[in-house]
Every structure is written in structure tokens, then in C-alpha cells.
Amino acid sequence: MAFEVVQGWADSLSMPIQNFTIAVILFSAYPLAYIYSYIPSTLPTAKHLFSILLTITLCLTLVDPWLYVQLLSACLVAYTVVSISRESVWAPVSVFLGMMAFLSVHHLENQIFNPDSGVADNTAPIMMMVIKMSTFAWAAHDGTKKDTLLSREQQRTAIRTMPNLIEFLGYAFFFGGWFVGPANDFIEYRRFTRGEPPFDKIPPRGLPAFKTLLVGLFTIGIYMKFSEPLSHYGAITPEFMKQPFWFRLLYINLAGNVVRCKYYGAWKLAEGACIISGIGYLGPCPRNPTKMLFSRVQNADPLRLELAQSPREYIGAWNQQTGKWLRECVYLRLAPQHTPAKSTDNARSKHQKPKEKGKAIALANVGTYFTSAFWHGFRPGYYFTFLSGAMVTITGQLLRRNLRPLVTQPSRLATYKPLYDFVGWLGTQISINYICAPFPVYTIPNGIQVWKSVYFMVHIWNVAALVAFGILGGGKLCRRIGELVGADYHGHKHLGTVGKVEVEKSVRDSADVFVTGEDEEVKDVKDHDNDLKKDN
């Protein structure tokens, strides 16, 4: 009955039911977050129950009662498995695989078996729950280990004391991020609801929340205005191929920018509500203590992303919470990196042969990109994008390592650094918009057609660069030129190699985005959190 009423409201506004539901959930979170912020930290159970009951109400009235039953069941199974056997590595592995299987069933139904059913695709909450449950399971498992066996980040997020069921469900169904994210760590949620540092002194957040809201509204407005005239489907029509090349290239790039605005809008609207609730507070800026940061749950940095000068920098600013999940639950589990020097595993890794280490990194790279595509679903366009993204990232690191020293001090060509930066930005924008073009058009024929419209140009120049530097010795030529212009290649890591070895090292460098992940400023503040308060 309630769903029929909601459908009627959506029809009266000429909005698809899914868009109407997302809008209501995102905008209603603002006044609700304001009310939530007044629940004192001395009553954490009240905070948990507020989120649980609110999410139940929203899911039952606006989304799908059956979806809530499934989500709750999945959470209870994950909680039971972790509670019983969190000491075993198979506990987080089984939770991860089980949640991915649960998500895959819905992806298959909505994307493959019954894509035109007219029923709203409500897999977004399941995608968020996959992140939360697998992150929780790994953190609980890490909580059974000594700090010497954990990385700095794993020490920070490790759950030493298991939560009771109410606290766990409060985290799983936190009203500020259950539908489209952001999905934060359990330990951050626990500290927040208990009022532990840095959440014991949250400064006024009305202005940062308002700024975030404006960014969300602005980007959503761009998407609503230009999504039809600049649709990627316009690039697969016969008429499109009759246009000049410059028009087709410009169109695909503008279409890519418009599509990103949809995600910017949803993420920023959700982030704004989290800032009001208080969980978005990060702490004082390490470089400027008078500046308060509210980027703890930030999912995208539009300005940093749109001005990125390399694919690696671009990836680091996009879908950051999902990237963090991929880093902590996939990449670093396949290629562990332990910070403390006394760690047995770390000592073992030091004696690991470079070839074996390279294989582990390559496996982790492939596994991470594949998991990301699998998490998004089974549409071929997704795999076109993610597999090409791996190639573009590797090539970008290869070019950056060999060309950048030529235009930085003490090179006599340093005056051309602004030109290098501009070309890097332009190449990054063209590359990213090109490889992402199949993502919104889904199918193999559509993906091939949109790439064909610009003659597969990005694939061609990436293969050419890999051949030039991996086979023909382009890196050696760059260093010879560097000697003539006074460039310093010794100050740049991995520049003493050529050929196949150099490409292999570029693969490792491209994987750094999974190792470093967050912005350094964010990492500094979170490390400070860890020093102030550890979960006991």
C-alpha cells in the first residue's frame, strides 16, 4: 500500500520511481541528521536504535520490504560467522564471498535475466552492504592479531572487542549511508557514537554541510540539464559517425563529464547529511590546525579529479570509499604489506624474491580490478572500462617516470613544466572519458561502437607507449636526452631500468593507488586518531 502511494507521488512529478526514491532518502537525511546530532554520546544505544528504526521505515515504505528482509538476513549471517570464528581467516573470506554471491544474484536478475522488467533496480543498498560486511569481517579478524602483524591502517581499524547485536545493526543500517553510501569503518562508527576523539569535540558544521549540499545540487543540476543532449547513446548512432572527428572526440569527453556529475551529486548529498550528523568530521588539518576538516566520509573530490594530471591521481580522487574497501579487503589481502619492521611477515617479505613479489603484486592488481568490475555487475561495458583502466594507469606511470624528470629542476627544460602539466591533464581527461564510455552503454556492440567512433585512439597510443618503452628502449633515450639538458633521473625511483623490467615496475607503481589510497592529509589525521585513542 505504501509503495503504491509513493509510486503515485513519483508519477505526479513525472519522475522515475527509482530517482524519486533516491531523492526522498537523500534530502530527508538532512533534517533527520540534525535531530540525530542532538542524541548525546552518553546514549550510544539510542543512536543505534535511531538508525535501525529509521532505515526500517524508509526501506519498508519507499524501497522494498523484501529487500530489507534480505539485507537483515545477510547481516545476521555475517555477524554470526564472525562472532563464532573471527580468529580464522576463512571467516572474512566466507563473508566476502557470501556477500558477493548475494549481490551477484541481484545483478544477474536486474542486468541479465530481466533487465526490462520496469522494476526499480535496488542493488545500491546491497552494494553498500557488501562493503560494510566484508570490511567489518576483516577488521574483526585483524582484531585477533598482534599489532606487529598488521599494517598501520589495519591497526587503526582493527576491532579488538566485538560489538553487541544492536551496535552492529546500528552500524550496518546507519541512516546516513545505507542507500548510496558512504560506507565507513566500524571502528569510526563506534568512536563516533561513543563520543571518543576526535568526535568528542565536533566544531560547528553548518557551513561545510551547506557547501557540500550546494556542490551536490549544482552537479545534479548539470546532469539533469545535459544528460539527454550529451548521452553516450548518441555516440552509437549512424548520424554520429558523419560528424567530424573533433566533434566526436569533444562529444565523448563532454558526455563523460556529465555522467560523472550524477555520481558527484548523489555522493555529495549523502556526504552533507553525514557532516550534519557529525560522523563526517575528520579533525583539524595537520598543516593548519585552525582549519577543521569534514572529509572523513568523502567519496569524491570533484576539483582534484577534474584537474588530475595522471590516471593514477584521477583514480585516487574517485569513489574513494569504495577504493579504500578494495585496497583493504582485496589488494592488501592478496599482497600484504606490514609496516612494522619486526613483523615476521614483513621480514619474510624482505627476503621475498623480486620476481615472486612482482607476481604477487600483479595478481593483486588483476584481482582488485576484477573485483571492482564484479561488484558493479555483469554488463560487458563495465569490464571494458576496468580492464582498459588498468592499462591506462600502467602507461601513465610509465610515461610520468620517464618524461617528468626532463621538465623538473634542475633540467634546463624546467620552464616547459606548465606545458607538460597541461598535456598531462588533457591526456588524462581524454583517456579516462574514452575508457569509461562503454560503462553507461552496457553491451559489447555499443562499447565497441563508441570506441570505434574515435578510432580506438587511446588504446592505440597506450599500446604504442608500452612498445616504445618496453621493447624499443624509449626510457634509455629519455635518459640520454636528460643527460644533455641536466635532468636528474637519480632522484626518481625505478629509473635505472629499461625494457620489460621498466614496464613491470610501472605495473607496481600503478598499484600504489591501492596501497596509498586516501589523500595524505586524510591519512595524517586518521593516524593521529589512532594515536589518541585505540580500541581496547
Domain ranges of the chain: 1-200, 206-335+363-531
Residue 41, phi-psi category: left (phi > 0), alpha (psi -120 to 50), beta (remainder): alpha
Contacts of residue 394, defined as CB under 8 A and 6 or more positions apart, other chains included, come to: 466, 503, 506, 507, 510
pLDDT tens digits in sequence order for the chain, 536 residues long: 566 666 677 777 667 777 788 888 999 999 999 999 999 999 999 999 999 999 999 888 888 888 899 999 999 999 999 999 999 999 999 999 999 999 999 999 888 887 765 566 788 999 999 999 999 999 999 999 999 889 888 999 999 999 999 999 999 999 998 888 888 899 999 999 999 999 998 999 999 999 999 999 999 999 999 999 999 999 999 999 999 999 999 999 999 999 999 999 999 999 999 999 999 999 998 888 888 999 999 999 999 999 999 988 898 889 999 989 999 999 888 888 755 444 444 444 444 555 556 667 777 877 888 898 889 999 999 999 988 988 898 888 889 889 999 999 899 999 999 999 999 999 999 999 999 999 999 999 999 999 999 999 999 999 999 999 878 888 889 989 998 998 888 765 444 444 555 555 555 555 555 544 455 555 555 555 555 555 44
Instruction: Check: CB of residue 349 under 8 Å from CB of residue 338.
Output: yes
Show Cβ contacts of residue 155 under 8 Å, excluding neighbours closer than 6 positions.
142, 147, 530, 534
**Alpha-carbon distance 250 to 337, whole Å?**
42
Amino acid at 507: V
Helical ranges in 319-443 per DSSP H: 320-326, 332-334, 344-350, 354-376, 380-403, 417-435
Report yes or no: 140 and 161 within 8 Å, Cβ to Cβ: no
Residue 140 is which amino acid?
A
CB within 8 A of 1, min separation 6: which ones?
none
What pLDDT does 506 receive? 53
